[in-house]
């Protein structure tokens, strides 16, 4: 039998990092075992499900390259099948019609509690056949009255729940629509899911689902309940903690490889290794090595991982992602250096691709405004002479590459008996508009020669103005 896992999000919001991590673990486990990975959209809550959320989930998974092998399946397309199984459970005596109203059930719950038991429906209609003809009813599953359910959880170990703790749960509402626990069971069964990987917020549903599967004579899948992700403050991760939708991380300038690497480590470890390529993750990941306790989200670490990938991945590849950010920031990169060249010199200067785009604008766009602080500090009257001389030397170059550029700057400094910085800094401000850039010879080499000379002239105008004012 082929190992089969699934990711089964409800499309009631974007794909958040918790969901993405669940999807990743589920995908990894399938991939590692040469199995199937199903994407199942649990959209039966018609009021809260939206197409925008479906798109956001698929966009997020696509961006992270978590390719599903089957699906996407939509539960709203399977209502006939759910109905069929509900009928089957009624016919076999494993389910029954319950005519108690919601208010009556509330009273039963209170009574049970008053007697010191757990709050639950008292089974009034469990064995009755005197069904009223014209009253609305729900359909309940006949949960076993005695015995235990054991969840053999691959992450948490064995968890035993007594059937006495469990209700006869509703599997069809009074309008006939199936409930969550029923649809999940039917789909996991029909789709031959062998491993259910999901958040541990679902752990209370698992014994109910096991009981229904047993009643249906279905195989019980293996379960792996993944602990929650907490924010830096120890509280459950939520929107309050900032960017939690996966696509927000793209917008903020993270590489998908970085987020994936960060997420795999958030709840799983392999010795003290931090960096895992996709292939390594697939090879080394195992559900049984997942942490049992919740993990805390740490943005500083994510930044660290992102920097690692920006610096070490193929610059051509990083450039594809940088191109997206350039476009996003309205920077036209048609004329100027290849983006991969920019990646090579900027990668170790920034935390994110968004920042990389921000500080690389001068490679592609002319500017008339210079950074005021840099002007004040570096474009002083005394720089007129070195600027004129270095311009002359740069203009004379026939080979516009780092080495001769470096020599031109150096020769200027030597000739005028100045430190390199006294020539380099004004030149940097002139060429880039500010006092920060990668090594000057490489930066200038990436800029067009003519452009650099024009920018020196532009800066000289500023210097002249200062001379006139002094």
Could you give the CA distance from residue 33 to residue 25 in angstroms, rounded to a whole number? 12
**Residue number with CB closer to ligand GLU (186 or 303):** 186
Q: Which letter does DSSP use for residue 330 in this model?
A: T
Of 3-11, 108-116, 294-302, 341-349, the window that binds ligand GLU (rule: CB under 6 A) is: 3-11
Q: Which letter does DSSP use for residue 359 in this model?
A: T
Of 5-13, 105-113, 240-248, 382-390, the window that binds ligand GLU (rule: CB under 6 A) is: 5-13
9 binds ligand GLU (CB under 6 A): yes
**Residue number with CB closer to ligand GLU (44 or 295):** 44
Structure tokens at 84: 């069929």
Structure tokens at 441: 């010879």
- For 80, other C-beta atoms within 10 Å of its C-beta total 7
Using CB under 6 A, count the residues that bind ligand GLU: 7
For residue 171, the Cα-to-chain-centroid distance in whole angstroms is: 33
Could you give the CA distance from residue 462 to residue 384 in angstroms, rounded to a whole number? 10
Tell which positions 30-49 bind ligand GLU, by CB under 6 A.
Answer: 42
Question: What crossing angle do the helices spanning 420-432 and 449-469 adopt, rounded to 10°?
Answer: 110
Closest CA to 25 of 184, 195, 186: 195
**Residue number with CB closer to ligand GLU (42 or 167):** 42
Chosen residue from 24, 85, 89, 184 binding ligand GLU by CB under 6 A: 184
10 binds ligand GLU (CB under 6 A): yes
At its nearest, how many Å lie between ligand GLU and the CB of residue 342? 40
**Residue number with CB closer to ligand GLU (4 or 352):** 4
**Residue number with CB closer to ligand GLU (42 or 257):** 42
Letter string b/e over residues 124-158, b meaning 16 or more CB atoms within 10 A of that residue's CB: ebeeeeeeeeeeebbbbbbbeeeeebebebbbbee
At its nearest, how many Å lie between ligand GLU and the CB of residue 19? 7
Residue in this structure with the two tokens 């950010």, named with its chain if needed: 325
**Residue number with CB closer to ligand GLU (12 or 298):** 12
Pattern 195-234, ligand GLU, x by CB under 6 A: ---x---x--------------------------------
End-to-end CA separation in angstroms for the chain: 86
94 binds ligand GLU (CB under 6 A): no
At its nearest, how many Å lie between ligand GLU and the CB of residue 10? 4
**Residue number with CB closer to ligand GLU (184 or 290):** 184
**Residue number with CB closer to ligand GLU (142 or 198):** 198
At its nearest, how many Å lie between ligand GLU and the CB of residue 452? 56
8 binds ligand GLU (CB under 6 A): yes
At its nearest, how many Å lie between ligand GLU and the CB of residue 165? 20
Rg (CA), the chain: 32
Q: Which residues are bridge partners to 97 per DSSP?
A: 139
**Residue number with CB closer to ligand GLU (167 or 187):** 187
Q: What is the 3-state secondary structure (H, E, C) of 121-173?
A: CCCCCCCCCCCCCCCCCEEEECCCCCCEEEEEECCCEEEEEEHHHCCCCEEEC
CB 19 within 8 A of CB 245: no
187 binds ligand GLU (CB under 6 A): no
At its nearest, how many Å lie between ligand GLU and the CB of residue 15? 10
Positions touching ligand GLU (CB under 6 A) are 8-10, 42, 184, 198, 202
């Amino acid at each position: 039998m082929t190992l089969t896992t699934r990711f089964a999000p409800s499309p009631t919001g974007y794909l958040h990092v918790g969901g993405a991590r669940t999807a990743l673990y589920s995908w990894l486990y399938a991939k590692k075992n040469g199995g199937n990975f199903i994407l199942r959209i649990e959209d039966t809550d018609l009021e809260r499900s939206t197409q925008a959320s479906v798109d956001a989930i698929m966009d997020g998974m696509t961006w992270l390259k978590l390719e599903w092998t089957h699906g996407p399946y939509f539960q709203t397309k399977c209502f006939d099948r759910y109905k069929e199984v509900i009928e089957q459970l009624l016919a076999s005596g494993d389910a029954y019609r319950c005519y108690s109203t919601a208010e009556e059930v509330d009273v039963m719950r209170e009574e049970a509690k008053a007697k010191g038991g757990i709050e639950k429906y008292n089974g009034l209609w469990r064995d009755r056949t005197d069904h009223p003809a014209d009253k609305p009813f729900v359909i309940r599953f006949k949960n076993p009255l005695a015995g235990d359910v054991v969840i053999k959880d691959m992450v948490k170990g064995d968890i035993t729940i007594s059937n006495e703790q469990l209700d006869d749960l509703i599997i069809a509402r009074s309008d006939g629509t199936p409930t969550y626990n029923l649809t999940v069971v039917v789909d996991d069964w029909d789709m031959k899911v062998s491993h259910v990987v999901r958040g541990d917020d679902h752990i209370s549903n698992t014994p109910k689902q096991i009981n229904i599967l047993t009643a249906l004579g279905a195989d019980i899948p293996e379960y792996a309940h993944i602990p929650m992700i907490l924010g830096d403050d120890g509280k459950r991760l939520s929107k309050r903690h900032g960017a939690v939708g996966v696509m927000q991380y793209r917008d903020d300038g993270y590489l998908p490889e970085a987020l994936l690497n960060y997420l795999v480590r958030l709840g799983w470890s392999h010795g003290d290794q931090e960096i895992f390529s996709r292939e390594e993750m697939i090879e080394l990941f195992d559900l049984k090595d997942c942490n049992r306790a919740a993990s805390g989200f740490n943005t500083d670490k994510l930044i660290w991982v992102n920097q690692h990938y920006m610096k070490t991945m193929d610059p051509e590849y990083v450039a594809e992602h940088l191109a997206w950010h350039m476009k996003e920031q309205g920077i036209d990169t048609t004329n100027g250096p290849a983006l991969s060249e920019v990646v090579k010199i900027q990668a170790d200067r920034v935390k994110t691709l968004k920042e990389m785009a921000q500080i690389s604008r001068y490679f592609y766009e002319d500017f008339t405004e210079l950074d005021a602080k840099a002007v004040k500090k570096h474009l002083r009257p005394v720089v007129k002479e070195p600027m004129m001389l270095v311009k002359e030397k740069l203009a004379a170059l026939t080979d516009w590459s780092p080495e001769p550029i470096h020599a031109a700057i150096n020769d200027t400094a030597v000739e005028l008996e100045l430190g390199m910085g006294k020539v380099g800094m004004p030149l940097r401000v002139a060429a880039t508009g500010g006092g920060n850039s990668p090594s000057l010879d490489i930066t200038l080499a990436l800029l067009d020669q003519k452009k650099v000379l024009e920018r020196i002239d532009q800066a000289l105008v500023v210097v002249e103005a200062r001379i006139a004012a002094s």
